[in-house]
Amino acid sequence: MTNETEGRIPLADLHVFHQLARSLTSSFDRDTILRTILEHMERIVQAELWALLMLDEATQELYYAIAAGGEQSKLRDLRVKVGEGVAGWVVEHGETLIVPEAGEDPRFGAIDGARPSSLRSVIAMPLRGRKGTHGVIEIFNPRPEQMTDYTIAFLHILADHAAIAIENANDVARIQQLTITDDTTGLYNVRHLYDVLGRELGRCAARRLPLSLAFLDLDRFKLVNDVHGHLVGSELLARTGQRLQELSRKQDWCFRYGGDEFVILMPETGATSALEQTIDLHGALMGTRFRMKNGLELGVSASVGLATAPDDGVTLHTVIGIADSRMYAVKSNGRGKVRGT
């Protein structure tokens, strides 16, 4: 007669399952989800190194998003190509890889620098959801007695829950990005400008740092639509927005304010530095020739006004208003210039 308790999951493990499910569904922040996955990996399996790699779909490379134990400091800048090493093999095939003796597996010849210096064994599982494989769980040198069917099944449940939570977080992030992004140019929209400017004004004021804002208006842009049509006009706006992003510094923010108007926010930048930066950007923009999809080659001219907090004001509407009025002063005096005072 079969024992009724045979094959049942221990109550403590059911509690872990419950905790895991609650933790992974209580947040849509991907970093929080990754930390939760790592914490549960550490509880389930004792090992020398736990790591979670995520797939960069653009480059088809894996990067180490989070790790614990062992030589994790070496992982920050490492990249693993799909198909290479243990993690690359797992993503390419979408299958779990369990290697109890590393020296006997040829895939370790191409392994990245993540492994502990004395690599003996590894468990690697794909984070595979409805939309494909998003990454890999790697556990290096787990204790031999823990490489059981039960433990592997437990890890598979973790990986399945994790993949769903990551997909949900990615979906939420995409939706949030759509709400703050301008459709035509791909730059941030005016709604996000108000959020960021308000936050940055508060931050810079608290630290007694300046903040500058450039308001750009493209000169006689209506003529582009009238002569070449709105499709060409929209394409030129998009290309102009991309060029502004390229010409801005990494710490600066670019927005489409509306129509043919753009804003560049320069945190921690005083009036003199902002004027120099904007004059350089303005000159490069005016010197750019854009080749349209129909073969037409066009350029743009812009009138620009600058404002700096706290000298020109400390509120959102004051800073935007002063930059806007200075831009219109340029419009009234020949266009195509930058005005900082």
Give the pLDDT mean for 310-329.
96
Distance between CA atoms of 330 and 332, rounded to whole angstroms? 5
225: helix, strand or coil: helix
Tell me: pLDDT of 36 over 70.
yes
CB atoms within 10 A of CB 237: 23
Enumerate domains of the chain plus CATH numbers: 11-178 (3.30.450.40), 190-339 (3.30.70.270)
Distance between CA atoms of 288 and 316, rounded to whole angstroms? 31
pTM above 0.85, yes or no: no
Least confident piece of the model among 36-40, 70-74, 110-114, 223-227: 110-114
336: helix, strand or coil: coil
Tell me: pLDDT of 122 over 90.
no
Residue with tokens 């993503």: 91
Side chain identity at residue 194, one-letter code: Y
163 and 131 Cβ atoms separated by less than 8 Å: no
Q: What is the pLDDT of residues 187-198, one digit of tens each?
A: 999 999 999 999
Look up residue 255 and give its two tokens: 């927005």
State the angle between helix axes of 190-206 and 316-331 in degrees (0 to 180), rounded to the nearest 10: 120
Look up residue 252 and give its two tokens: 């600066």
Distance between CA atoms of 206 and 202, rounded to whole angstroms? 6
**Antiparallel, parallel or unpaired: β 61-69 and 132-140:** unpaired
Distance between CA atoms of 79 and 59, rounded to whole angstroms? 10
Give the pLDDT mean for 24-34.
75
Distance between CA atoms of 3 and 192, rounded to whole angstroms? 63
67: helix, strand or coil: strand
pLDDT of residue 72: 61
Over the chain, what is the mean pLDDT? 86
Q: What is the pLDDT of residues 197-252, one digit of tens each?
A: 999 999 999 999 999 999 999 999 999 999 999 999 999 999 999 999 999 999 99
CB atoms within 10 A of CB 193: 22
Tell me: pLDDT of 183 over 70.
yes
Dihedrals phi, psi of 181, to nearest 5 degrees: -115, 140
pLDDT bin (cut points 50, 70, 90) of residue 104 is low
Distance between CA atoms of 58 and 115, rounded to whole angstroms? 25
Give the pLDDT mean for 30-53.
82
Percent of the chain's residues with pLDDT above 70? 85
Distance between CA atoms of 145 and 238, rounded to whole angstroms? 59
Residue with tokens 């020109």: 312
146 and 46 Cβ atoms separated by less than 8 Å: yes
Determine the distance from the C-alpha atom of residue 277 to the mean position of all C-alpha atoms in its chain, rounded to a whole number: 26
